């Protein structure tokens, strides 16, 4: 049986943690940063875990990730 293909965009966006959860980066940090407060930009730096309802579809896109 050949290997399954991973979704390229999903492998770039998501990482699996040691416990099996999936983390993602946060949005709104690319441009128009002058009007955003320092606190808001600092909190956007840290990764977030994806919601349980989205976990199955992300795992399907990343069979080996």
Tokens representing residue 41 in the block: 């930009």
Per the domain annotation, does 11 fall within a domain?
A: no
Total of domains in the chain: 1
Per the domain annotation, does 45 fall within a domain?
A: yes
- Please give the pLDDT value at position 24: 97
What are the E-state strand segments in 1-65?
14-16, 22-24, 48-49
* Cα–Cα distance, 10 to 23 (Å, whole number): 11
Per the domain annotation, does 3 fall within a domain?
A: no
Per the domain annotation, does 49 fall within a domain?
A: yes
What separation, in Å, do the N-terminal and C-terminal C-alpha atoms of the chain show? 19
Domain limits at 49? 22-65
- Please give the pLDDT value at position 65: 80
Tokens representing residue 56 in the block: 């199955």
19: confidence class by pLDDT, cuts 50, 70, 90? very high
């Amino acid at each position: 049986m050949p290997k399954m293909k991973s979704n390229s965009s999903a492998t770039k966006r998501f990482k699996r943690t040691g416990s099996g959860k999936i983390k993602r980066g946060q949005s709104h940090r690319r441009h128009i940063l002058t009007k955003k407060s320092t606190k808001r930009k600092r909190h956007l730096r840290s990764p977030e875990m994806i919601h349980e309802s989205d976990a199955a579809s992300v795992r399907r896109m990343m069979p080996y990730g």
